[in-house]
Structure 1
Amino acid sequence: MTHSLLILNGPNLNLLGTRQPEVYGHTTLGDIEALCKTTAEAMGVSVTFAQSNHEGEMVDMLHAAQSAHHGIILNAGAYTHTSVALMDAISSIALPVIELHLSNVHAREDFRRTSYISRVVVGQICGFGAAGYPLAMEALAGHLNNK
Protein backbone atom coordinates (compact mmCIF):
# COMPACT_ATOMS: atom_id res chain seq x y z
CA MET A 1 0.00 0.00 0.00
CA THR A 2 1.28 3.45 -0.87
CA HIS A 3 1.01 5.78 2.07
CA SER A 4 -0.29 9.30 1.56
CA LEU A 5 1.28 11.96 3.77
CA LEU A 6 0.13 15.52 4.38
CA ILE A 7 2.86 18.03 5.19
CA LEU A 8 1.14 20.98 6.84
CA ASN A 9 3.07 24.17 7.56
CA GLY A 10 1.79 26.96 9.75
CA PRO A 11 2.18 30.70 10.12
CA ASN A 12 5.08 32.59 8.61
CA LEU A 13 6.60 29.50 7.01
CA ASN A 14 5.65 30.97 3.63
CA LEU A 15 8.42 33.49 4.35
CA LEU A 16 11.20 30.90 4.69
CA GLY A 17 14.36 31.95 2.93
CA THR A 18 13.95 35.60 3.91
CA ARG A 19 12.53 35.42 7.45
CA GLN A 20 15.25 35.39 10.13
CA PRO A 21 17.80 33.47 8.04
CA GLU A 22 20.12 33.32 11.06
CA VAL A 23 17.51 31.05 12.70
CA TYR A 24 15.74 29.37 9.77
CA GLY A 25 18.37 29.47 7.03
CA HIS A 26 17.98 30.49 3.39
CA THR A 27 15.97 27.48 2.24
CA THR A 28 12.52 28.43 0.96
CA LEU A 29 9.30 26.52 1.49
CA GLY A 30 9.41 25.71 -2.23
CA ASP A 31 12.88 24.21 -1.75
CA ILE A 32 11.55 22.07 1.10
CA GLU A 33 8.62 20.90 -1.01
CA ALA A 34 11.01 19.88 -3.82
CA LEU A 35 13.17 18.00 -1.30
CA CYS A 36 10.11 16.21 0.05
CA LYS A 37 8.86 15.29 -3.42
CA THR A 38 12.24 13.71 -4.22
CA THR A 39 12.19 11.89 -0.89
CA ALA A 40 8.61 10.71 -1.48
CA GLU A 41 9.50 9.28 -4.88
CA ALA A 42 12.45 7.39 -3.40
CA MET A 43 10.29 6.09 -0.55
CA GLY A 44 7.31 5.17 -2.72
CA VAL A 45 4.86 7.39 -0.84
CA SER A 46 2.68 10.24 -2.00
CA VAL A 47 2.89 13.65 -0.41
CA THR A 48 0.61 16.67 -0.34
CA PHE A 49 1.66 20.11 0.91
CA ALA A 50 -0.35 22.83 2.56
CA GLN A 51 0.50 26.05 4.39
CA SER A 52 -1.68 28.50 6.23
CA ASN A 53 -1.22 31.52 8.44
CA HIS A 54 -4.69 30.93 9.92
CA GLU A 55 -5.34 28.64 12.86
CA GLY A 56 -8.92 27.74 11.93
CA GLU A 57 -7.90 26.88 8.38
CA MET A 58 -5.23 24.56 9.77
CA VAL A 59 -7.85 22.87 11.97
CA ASP A 60 -10.02 22.37 8.88
CA MET A 61 -7.08 20.86 6.99
CA LEU A 62 -6.37 18.45 9.85
CA HIS A 63 -10.01 17.34 9.88
CA ALA A 64 -10.05 16.89 6.09
CA ALA A 65 -6.82 14.88 6.16
CA GLN A 66 -8.60 12.07 7.96
CA SER A 67 -10.36 11.00 4.76
CA ALA A 68 -7.46 11.70 2.39
CA HIS A 69 -4.17 10.72 4.07
CA HIS A 70 -2.54 8.10 6.25
CA GLY A 71 -0.44 10.48 8.37
CA ILE A 72 0.57 14.10 8.88
CA ILE A 73 3.81 15.99 9.37
CA LEU A 74 2.96 19.26 11.10
CA ASN A 75 5.17 22.31 11.45
CA ALA A 76 2.68 24.44 13.36
CA GLY A 77 5.12 27.32 13.79
CA ALA A 78 4.13 29.64 16.62
CA TYR A 79 0.79 27.85 17.03
CA THR A 80 2.78 25.01 18.60
CA HIS A 81 3.10 27.10 21.74
CA THR A 82 -0.39 28.57 21.87
CA SER A 83 -3.01 26.47 20.13
CA VAL A 84 -5.30 24.28 22.14
CA ALA A 85 -7.45 24.17 18.98
CA LEU A 86 -4.72 22.41 16.99
CA MET A 87 -4.07 20.03 19.89
CA ASP A 88 -7.78 19.17 20.04
CA ALA A 89 -7.97 18.72 16.26
CA ILE A 90 -5.04 16.29 16.29
CA SER A 91 -6.51 14.30 19.15
CA SER A 92 -9.87 14.21 17.33
CA ILE A 93 -8.60 12.58 14.15
CA ALA A 94 -7.47 8.99 13.78
CA LEU A 95 -4.15 9.78 12.10
CA PRO A 96 -0.58 9.71 13.40
CA VAL A 97 1.04 13.16 13.44
CA ILE A 98 4.71 14.07 13.74
CA GLU A 99 5.55 17.53 15.11
CA LEU A 100 8.36 19.21 13.18
CA HIS A 101 10.43 22.35 13.77
CA LEU A 102 13.29 23.72 11.69
CA SER A 103 15.10 25.16 14.70
CA ASN A 104 15.82 23.52 18.03
CA VAL A 105 12.93 25.01 19.98
CA HIS A 106 14.41 23.66 23.23
CA ALA A 107 17.50 25.84 22.82
CA ARG A 108 15.57 29.04 22.15
CA GLU A 109 13.31 31.30 24.23
CA ASP A 110 11.63 29.69 27.23
CA PHE A 111 8.11 30.01 25.78
CA ARG A 112 9.14 27.87 22.79
CA ARG A 113 9.80 24.91 25.09
CA THR A 114 6.06 24.56 25.64
CA SER A 115 4.27 22.59 22.97
CA TYR A 116 0.56 21.95 23.25
CA ILE A 117 0.64 19.64 20.27
CA SER A 118 3.48 17.42 21.57
CA ARG A 119 0.98 15.87 23.98
CA VAL A 120 -0.98 14.31 21.12
CA VAL A 121 1.60 13.48 18.44
CA VAL A 122 3.61 10.34 17.75
CA GLY A 123 6.92 12.20 18.06
CA GLN A 124 8.84 15.40 17.53
CA ILE A 125 11.75 16.28 15.23
CA CYS A 126 13.47 19.62 15.70
CA GLY A 127 16.72 21.41 15.04
CA PHE A 128 17.77 19.85 11.72
CA GLY A 129 16.54 22.61 9.43
CA ALA A 130 15.08 21.50 6.11
CA ALA A 131 16.64 18.04 6.60
CA GLY A 132 14.05 17.46 9.31
CA TYR A 133 11.32 17.02 6.71
CA PRO A 134 12.78 13.88 5.08
CA LEU A 135 13.59 12.59 8.58
CA ALA A 136 9.96 13.07 9.55
CA MET A 137 8.78 11.37 6.36
CA GLU A 138 10.96 8.34 7.09
CA ALA A 139 9.79 8.24 10.71
CA LEU A 140 6.12 8.53 9.77
CA ALA A 141 6.35 5.88 7.03
CA GLY A 142 8.10 3.57 9.50
CA HIS A 143 5.38 4.17 12.07
CA LEU A 144 2.67 3.45 9.50
CA ASN A 145 4.41 0.27 8.34
CA ASN A 146 4.64 -1.00 11.92
CA LYS A 147 0.92 -0.55 12.59
Structure 2
Amino acid sequence: MKILVINGPNINMLGIREPEIYGRETYDDLIAYIKEETKLLNIKVSFYQSNHEGNLVDKIQESYGKYDGIVINPAAYTHTSVALLDVVKAVGIPTVEVHISDPDSRDEFRKISYIRQACVTTIKGKGFKGYIEAIEYLVKHHS
Protein backbone atom coordinates (compact mmCIF):
# COMPACT_ATOMS: atom_id res chain seq x y z
CA MET A 1 0.00 0.00 0.00
CA LYS A 2 1.21 3.50 -0.88
CA ILE A 3 0.06 6.51 1.13
CA LEU A 4 0.75 10.18 0.50
CA VAL A 5 0.83 12.54 3.48
CA ILE A 6 0.08 16.11 2.40
CA ASN A 7 0.45 19.17 4.60
CA GLY A 8 -0.79 22.63 3.73
CA PRO A 9 0.27 26.16 4.60
CA ASN A 10 2.40 26.91 7.64
CA ILE A 11 2.80 23.27 8.69
CA ASN A 12 6.45 23.77 7.73
CA MET A 13 6.53 26.31 10.58
CA LEU A 14 5.75 23.76 13.30
CA GLY A 15 7.80 24.44 16.41
CA ILE A 16 7.77 28.18 15.71
CA ARG A 17 4.12 28.94 14.94
CA GLU A 18 1.87 29.15 18.00
CA PRO A 19 3.69 26.53 20.09
CA GLU A 20 0.95 26.75 22.72
CA ILE A 21 -1.39 25.20 20.13
CA TYR A 22 0.90 23.09 17.95
CA GLY A 23 3.75 22.27 20.32
CA ARG A 24 7.49 22.75 19.91
CA GLU A 25 8.19 19.81 17.61
CA THR A 26 9.14 20.72 14.04
CA TYR A 27 7.91 19.59 10.64
CA ASP A 28 11.05 17.43 10.36
CA ASP A 29 10.10 15.87 13.70
CA LEU A 30 6.65 15.09 12.29
CA ILE A 31 8.11 13.36 9.22
CA ALA A 32 10.56 11.36 11.36
CA TYR A 33 7.75 10.35 13.74
CA ILE A 34 5.53 9.11 10.91
CA LYS A 35 8.40 7.17 9.31
CA GLU A 36 9.29 5.53 12.62
CA GLU A 37 5.70 4.66 13.53
CA THR A 38 4.89 3.17 10.13
CA LYS A 39 8.00 1.02 9.72
CA LEU A 40 6.18 -2.20 10.55
CA LEU A 41 2.99 -1.53 8.59
CA ASN A 42 4.39 -2.80 5.27
CA ILE A 43 3.41 0.39 3.44
CA LYS A 44 5.24 3.11 1.57
CA VAL A 45 4.64 6.62 2.89
CA SER A 46 5.56 9.72 0.88
CA PHE A 47 5.38 13.34 2.03
CA TYR A 48 4.50 16.67 0.46
CA GLN A 49 4.07 20.15 1.93
CA SER A 50 3.21 23.41 0.23
CA ASN A 51 1.98 26.83 1.20
CA HIS A 52 0.32 27.22 -2.20
CA GLU A 53 -3.17 25.94 -2.94
CA GLY A 54 -2.52 25.25 -6.63
CA ASN A 55 0.55 23.16 -5.79
CA LEU A 56 -1.55 21.05 -3.42
CA VAL A 57 -4.20 20.57 -6.12
CA ASP A 58 -1.51 19.60 -8.65
CA LYS A 59 0.02 17.07 -6.23
CA ILE A 60 -3.34 15.42 -5.59
CA GLN A 61 -4.02 15.24 -9.34
CA GLU A 62 -0.57 13.67 -9.87
CA SER A 63 -1.44 11.08 -7.19
CA TYR A 64 -4.15 9.52 -9.33
CA GLY A 65 -3.19 5.93 -10.05
CA LYS A 66 -0.06 6.18 -7.91
CA TYR A 67 -1.36 6.12 -4.32
CA ASP A 68 -3.86 3.96 -2.46
CA GLY A 69 -4.64 6.60 0.16
CA ILE A 70 -4.03 10.21 1.11
CA VAL A 71 -3.69 11.77 4.56
CA ILE A 72 -4.16 15.52 4.28
CA ASN A 73 -3.82 18.35 6.74
CA PRO A 74 -5.07 21.18 4.54
CA ALA A 75 -4.35 23.64 7.38
CA ALA A 76 -5.89 27.06 6.60
CA TYR A 77 -7.20 25.78 3.26
CA THR A 78 -9.57 23.55 5.24
CA HIS A 79 -11.80 26.57 5.72
CA THR A 80 -11.47 28.18 2.29
CA SER A 81 -10.67 25.73 -0.48
CA VAL A 82 -13.37 24.35 -2.72
CA ALA A 83 -10.50 23.47 -5.10
CA LEU A 84 -9.12 20.90 -2.63
CA LEU A 85 -12.60 19.47 -2.11
CA ASP A 86 -13.08 19.15 -5.87
CA VAL A 87 -9.72 17.51 -6.55
CA VAL A 88 -10.14 14.93 -3.78
CA LYS A 89 -13.54 14.08 -5.28
CA ALA A 90 -12.03 13.97 -8.78
CA VAL A 91 -9.22 11.50 -8.05
CA GLY A 92 -11.36 9.22 -5.89
CA ILE A 93 -8.44 8.21 -3.67
CA PRO A 94 -9.58 7.42 -0.10
CA THR A 95 -8.53 10.50 1.89
CA VAL A 96 -8.40 11.20 5.61
CA GLU A 97 -8.51 14.78 6.88
CA VAL A 98 -6.15 15.38 9.82
CA HIS A 99 -5.61 18.34 12.12
CA ILE A 100 -3.00 18.60 14.86
CA SER A 101 -5.27 20.81 16.96
CA ASP A 102 -9.05 20.60 17.15
CA PRO A 103 -10.32 23.35 14.85
CA ASP A 104 -13.82 23.02 16.33
CA SER A 105 -12.54 24.26 19.68
CA ARG A 106 -10.88 27.35 18.20
CA ASP A 107 -12.11 30.33 16.16
CA GLU A 108 -15.65 30.11 14.83
CA PHE A 109 -14.52 30.17 11.17
CA ARG A 110 -12.32 27.11 11.79
CA LYS A 111 -15.42 24.97 12.34
CA ILE A 112 -16.03 25.00 8.58
CA SER A 113 -14.27 22.30 6.55
CA TYR A 114 -14.92 22.22 2.84
CA ILE A 115 -12.75 19.16 2.22
CA ARG A 116 -14.44 17.05 4.92
CA GLN A 117 -17.32 15.96 2.69
CA ALA A 118 -14.86 14.28 0.28
CA CYS A 119 -12.93 12.49 3.05
CA VAL A 120 -13.59 9.04 4.49
CA THR A 121 -13.03 10.34 8.03
CA THR A 122 -11.54 13.23 10.01
CA ILE A 123 -9.08 12.99 12.89
CA LYS A 124 -8.49 16.16 14.90
CA GLY A 125 -6.91 17.33 18.11
CA LYS A 126 -4.56 14.37 18.59
CA GLY A 127 -1.29 16.03 17.67
CA PHE A 128 1.17 14.04 15.58
CA LYS A 129 -0.53 10.80 16.66
CA GLY A 130 -3.50 11.78 14.51
CA TYR A 131 -1.43 11.17 11.39
CA ILE A 132 -0.69 7.61 12.53
CA GLU A 133 -4.37 7.01 13.28
CA ALA A 134 -5.21 8.27 9.79
CA ILE A 135 -2.68 5.95 8.16
CA GLU A 136 -3.88 3.00 10.23
CA TYR A 137 -7.47 3.81 9.23
CA LEU A 138 -6.53 3.73 5.55
CA VAL A 139 -4.60 0.47 5.97
CA LYS A 140 -7.49 -1.17 7.80
CA HIS A 141 -10.38 0.09 5.68
CA HIS A 142 -8.92 0.67 2.23
CA SER A 143 -6.08 -1.76 1.57
Q: State the TM-score, normalized to the length of structure 1.
A: 0.95
Question: In the alignment, what sits opposite 2:49?
Answer: 51
What SS does the aligned partner of 1:68 have?
coil
- Residues matched between the structures, number: 143
Question: In the alignment, what sits opposite 1:79?
Answer: 77
- The question of 1:138 aligning with 2:136 is answered yes
1:129 to 127, 130, 143: 127
What SS does the aligned partner of 2:93 have?
coil
2:36 to 8, 33, 38: 38
Residue correspondence of structure 1 range 59-98 to structure 2 within 5 A = 59-98=57-96
Question: In the alignment, what sits opposite 1:7?
Answer: 5
Structure 1: gaps of 5 or more residues: none
Q: How far apart in 2 are the matches of 1:63 and 1:87? A: 12
Please tell me the residue identity of whatever aligns with 2:68: H
Structure 2: gaps of 5 or more residues: none
CA contact (8 A) 1:27 1:130 kept: no
Q: CA deviation at 1:123?
A: 0.4
Q: State the TM-score, normalized to the length of structure 2.
A: 0.97
What SS does the aligned partner of 1:67 have?
coil
1:49-68 Cα deviation digits (max 9, x unpaired): 00000000000000011122
Question: Which of structure 1's runs of 4+ aligned residues deviate more than 3 A?
Answer: none
Please tell me the residue identity of whatever aligns with 2:121: G
What SS does the aligned partner of 2:65 have?
coil
Question: In the alignment, what sits opposite 2:115?
Answer: 117
Please tell me the residue identity of whatever aligns with 1:30: D
For the aligned residue pairs, the C-alpha RMSD in angstroms reads 0.8
Identity %: 42
Q: How far apart in 2 are the matches of 1:19 and 1:49? A: 20
Q: How far apart in 2 are the matches of 1:144 and 1:79? A: 25
Q: CA deviation at 1:40?
A: 2.0
